[in-house]
Structure 1
Amino acid sequence: MTDDQAFAAFDGCGLAEEIATGRITPLEAVDAAIRIIERHNPLLNAVVMERFDAARAEAKRAGAGSGLFAGVPFLAKDMNVFTADMPTTFSSRFFAKAAPRPDSEIVQRWKQAGLIILGKTSTPEFAADFVTEPSFRGPCRNPWNPDLTPGGSSGGAAAAVASGMVPLAHGTDSGGSIRVPAACCGLVGFKPSRGLTPSGPVYPELAGGLNCDHALTRSVRDTAAMLDITVGPELGGAYYIPKPAEAYRDAIRRKPVRRRIAYTATAPSGVTAMPEIVALLHRTVEVLRRQGHELIPVALPGDVDPYDAAAKLWMPPLALEIEERERALGRAARDEELEALSRYSRQVAAKMTALDYLRARQRAHDITVAMARFSESFDLLLTSTIGTLPPAIGAIDSRSDRFDHDAWQEGAYYFAPFTELFNITGQPAISLPLFQTEAGMPVGMQLIAKIGQDAELLQLAAALEADLPWRDVRPPYWS
């Protein structure tokens, strides 16, 4: 394949179909992806590790191959998962020389489905921010406007997919880290129900149960297909959720039934989205009404604000990761090897007792019960994904000696106030790139279903995609 524009126009399922029929070879697909990475990555800084030679060798062996995504180029995030021939550094200087570890369960499932991993994408240190500007490797930039953030923490994945480097890429989501970058970069970003995708075998769960691993994609069908290849129980896993009888990619072909959909522009913290985003939320309401759904304005209860409980759940695992690295190296981490937010998180975790952690778990449970009761009168909830347009590079500082926790919290959670609640509750949530602002920036709208209703949520997303097609709306840095 020599036409990179044609390559970049495919979603993952479309590219897999081209490869399966022999119209494109896996090597042609991999070579096209590498060319686009080499063209755009010097500016966007999305891909931070490469295994191009190994990927080409795998593509030559693949042929038409087997598996749902046989021969399709893919990128892993430098966080949570381990790959046998690349280290996982968590975007931290302290892990810069970490050795590779055997493939995580989800990586094995990607490979079994035929995905060819080209490298790893950028993330903020320990995926702890809503922007992707690690001191270790420098900021990742938004393909719609390189002066702005692509969001975080899966910012590298979002920039890579939005710019045409690969059709889909791995993301992790502990507080919105798939959905926020998807909103910033005009992509589909889906966080599955808690436990639906594997975390092991290294971890029983991630970020105190807040995290799910999935992908950022250009289409709902890719999101559904990625769930098909990764869903299901794992050996020793903390959750046992059997693979559903019907494939998600089949379920989305059915028209969704009429739903009662609540909507709000204000987060439990009291933060309201900026007026232009609120106006687009109301346009989404009208589209859903036209599709036959009942839309109900609501105010989220103030006692479900997730921040304090979430911080006490994700900070201790971060501290434990650093402690284990110190033990392996036989020395303490130096200040210059960790960013300010990471050092702050260690201090918070060090002061916590076991009872403090259990209180945070109990608080998370109380929030989950409160949201379940609040949601009894409706089927789904609609919010915007982010509260403001993507901030400028450097506007949110979690890294430097100027770091101030209160200022960081205010900036980060004014930008992204709507996502972390559903990591607490474990509910499936999806960001869809339904509209753009007058200035041309994408804006994500978030739909949230009840836990376990992932198929129903994806059905509704597919119907919106059909009504408001977004695949031909592309950023300046495309292919």
Structure 2
Amino acid sequence: MRLSEYVEYDATGLASLVTAGEMTAVELTHLARQAHDGVNPSINAVIEFYEDAESISSKNAGLFNGVPFFRKDVGASEAGRLQEKGSRLFKGYRSNIESYFFHRAREGGLRTLGRTATPEFATSGITESILNGITGNPWDLERSAGGSSGGAAAAVAAGITPIAHGNDGGGSIRVPAAWCGLVGLNPSRGRISGGPNQQDASLGCTREFVLCQTVRDAAAALDVFSGPHPGDPFIIVQPNRPYVEELSRPTGTLRVGVAKTKWGAINLDPEVQHAVESMATLLEEMGHVVIDIKPPYESIEYTRIMLAGLSFNASSREDAARAMRRTISAETLEPINLKLYEYSRNLQTRVGDVHEALRSMRLHVGEAIQDFDILLTPTMPMVALPHGSVYSTTNPTLSVEEWVEADAALYQYTGVFNVTGQPAVSLPLAQNASGLPIGIQIVGRFGDEATLVRVARDLEEARPWGHRRAKVRAGHTVCGSDLNARNSKSIASTPTRAGSPDARSFRVA
């Protein structure tokens, strides 16, 4: 198989070739390495391709039989592998914990070949860090791939692997999916176990999952990674059948709530608003009942939760510094994370107060949207931002309050559903006039990923996106860029223009 052919397959398609004996897992690994070598210097998505990648074992079976996979460098871990969390504080750190997530990955046939870039501690929705540099968007190298799973998104969009690990504490799967033209699903709270050490992470706001190219890959990934484990705080309602079987079942008539107005301080880009309205019309033509909805929460509610949650920040950073035998300073933390740490040291927030704020917001949102089977919203209010935006944790200019408010405004359609625990998927259903992807978010009832899968399938069939490809893609000519030049100097010196946690801190982005 040629590299130009490899990049045209989704994960399900590659697995079928291995199952049929037309390819081997090692051959797919070689192709992933070839793709990496060709495009990663331009996008800086993969920060480590394992030297022993060819000898990595996986079950010679499963829905993803032999498919190459990457791990985001924060969250779920592989025992003995580096996990630096995008931070100089953790430089050289190797986890001694094998997450259930990666046990399931192997059981499902995935071969994890390396690590992808993340902003420091996954705090921001912009993937750039002093440790690893800037990750470029394969659709436009001068723009961000999003975050905090930006390295994973860029790697998939550029064709290095068809699927990659991510996690989402406020939009960190859906944001890069929207900006890189991918499918990014954040499952219901409790659907994917965070065990053995991160069950119900960030007070239930963060979940592990994947970014991929097709709805059928997202459905298969739900089947691979779903299921309870010992130590999980509760067992969510289990599906009636495998999610891949939902792909062949009818959707039925749904009540759809459509968000056509802003839910935060940032206005909707007109092209994004048009895309939402177009999808609402499409759903109506499919026979669904479509109703405009008002914002189901006040932005200040979410900002207060984020600020209150910082009370967990200081102790976790201090524990990490002691474990690494390092000190917390400007030499180990980026400007925003250092300010967040210092701010959190002076907080007197009680755990009960944070739980109450979360409970209250869940109640208010639940009451506002209870009459709808699904919601249709933008994923982001605008297309991918240029590098050097105010939202990076390397930005030295903002106060903690200013940064948290900016973060809440940018991720106004995503973070709310981390709080409520509902499943939500970003689909690459539109583009702007310049060809940049526009993500549309579909939100389901708690525990009802099955309906999301069916609706996403319907929309993919009606508005297919498989023919749209990023400018930088393996097996094709890669245009030059100054991204390497940017990464060759300290990112801390780059001027800024005026958002899933580390293992134990509360979510910010």
SS at match of 2:257: strand
1:6-405 matches, cutoff 5 A = 6-51=5-50, 53-58=51-56, 65-241=60-236, 243-303=238-298, 305-312=300-307, 314-355=309-350, 357-396=351-390, 397-405=392-400
Compared with structure 1, are the counterparts of its residues 38 and 85 closer, same or farther at alpha carbon in structure 2 (3 Å cutoff)?
farther
Counterpart contact for 1:388–1:416, Cα < 8 Å: no
CA shift at 1:398, angstroms?
2.0
Matched residue type, 2:124: D
Change (3 A) 1:314 1:19: farther
Which piece of structure 1 moves more, 435-444 or 249-258?
249-258
State how far apart, in whole Å, the 1-side matches of 2:422 and 2:362 are. Answer: 9
8 Å CA contact 2:89–2:333 kept in 1: the answer is yes
When normalised by structure 2's length, the TM-score is: 0.89
Q: 1:162 to 1:318 in 2, by over 3 A?
A: farther
Change (3 A) 1:205 1:316: farther
Q: CA 1:10–1:472 in structure 2 vs 1: closer, same or farther (change >3 Å)? A: same
What SS does the aligned partner of 1:364 have?
helix
Q: CA deviation at 1:101?
A: 1.6
Distance across 2 between alignment mates of 1:202 and 1:144: 36
Counterpart amino acid of residue 386 in structure 1 = M
* Alpha-carbon contact 1:198-1:233 (below 8 Å) kept: yes
C-alpha displacement at 1:376, in angstroms? 2.3
Q: CA deviation at 1:377?
A: 2.2
Cα distance in 2 between the residues matched to 1:189 and 1:415: 18
What's 1:471 paired with?
466
8 Å contact from structure 1 (residues 30, 55) kept in 2: yes
Moved more, 278-287 or 79-88: 79-88
Please give the alpha-carbon distance, in whole angstroms, between the structure 1 residues aligned to 2:309 and 2:401.
Answer: 17
SS for the counterpart of 1:81 is coil
* Residues 109 and 306 of structure 1: CA distance in aligned 2, closer, same or farther (over 3 Å): farther
Q: Secondary structure at the match of 1:9?
A: coil
Task: Give, in whole Å, the separation in 2 of the partners of 1:253 and 1:453.
Answer: 16
> Would you say the 8 A contact 1:29–1:72 is kept in 2?
yes
Post-superposition offset of 1:239: 2.7
Aligned position for 2:507: none
Moved over 4 A (4+): none
For the 8 Å contact 2:265–2:409, the answer to whether it is kept is: no
What letter matches 1:23 in structure 2? E
Give 1:394 shift. 0.6
Q: 1:214 is matched by which residue type in structure 2?
A: F
- The whole-number CA distance in structure 2 between the counterparts of 1:215 and 1:8 is 18
| Contact persistence 1:309–1:361 (CA under 8 A) | no
Q: 1:317 Cα shift? A: 4.5
Q: Secondary structure at the match of 1:424?
A: helix
* Structure 1 gap ranges (5+): none
CA distance in 2, matches of 1:358, 1:82: 29
Shift of 1:461: 0.6
The more displaced of 199-208 and 164-173 is 199-208
Letter in 2 for 1:74: F
Q: What is the TM-score when the length of structure 1 is the normalising length?
A: 0.94
Q: What residue identity is the alignment partner of 1:8?
A: V
Distance across 2 between alignment mates of 1:414 and 1:369? 21
Distance in structure 2 (CA, Å) of the matches to 1:379 and 1:251: 16
| Distance of 1:398 and 1:334 partners within structure 2 | 14
Any unmatched runs of 5+ in structure 2?
Answer: 475-509
* Structure with greater proportional helix content: 1
Q: Matched residues in 2 for 1:15 and 1:466: separation?
A: 21
**Which residue of the partner structure matches residue 497 of structure 2?**
none
User: C-alpha offsets along residues 457-478 of structure 1, whole Å, 9 cap, x if unaligned?
Assistant: 1110111011111112101111
Relative contact order higher in (CA < 8 Å, ≥ 6 apart)? 2
Bigger mean CA offset, 97-106 vs 4-13: 97-106
Deviations, residues 76-134 of structure 1 (Å, cap 9, x unaligned): 10011111231211100010021232311111110111100110111111111111011
Residues of 1 paired with 2:83 and 2:457: CA distance?
34
Q: Distance in 1 between matches of 2:315 and 2:234?
A: 22
1 CA distance for matches of 2:471 and 2:309?
A: 36
Q: Give the conservation status (yes or no) of the 8 Å contact 2:89–2:324.
A: no
**Alpha-carbon separation, structure 1, partners of 2:76 and 2:343:** 25
1:304–1:371 contact (8 Å) kept in structure 2: no
Q: In the superposition, relative to structure 1, how do residues 317 and 235 fare at CA in structure 2: closer, same or farther (>3 Å)?
A: farther
Displacement after TM superposition at 1:352 (Å): 2.6
SS at match of 1:378: coil
Shift in Å, 1:204: 2.9
Give the whole-Å Cα distance in 1 for the aligned partners of 2:311 and 2:247: 38
> Relative to structure 2, which stretch is displaced further, 157-166 or 197-206?
197-206
Aligned length: 473
Aligned mates of 2:37, 2:425 — CA distance in 1: 30
Q: Does structure 2 retain, via aligned residues, the 8 Å contact 1:37–1:165?
A: yes
Picking from 421, 424, 442, the partner of 1:447 is 442
What amino acid is aligned across from residue 218 of structure 1 in structure 2?
Answer: Q
- SS of alignment partner, residue 383 of structure 1: strand
8 Å contact kept, 1:26–1:71: yes
What's the CA shift for 1:360? 2.1
Distance 1:167 1:318, change over 3 A: farther
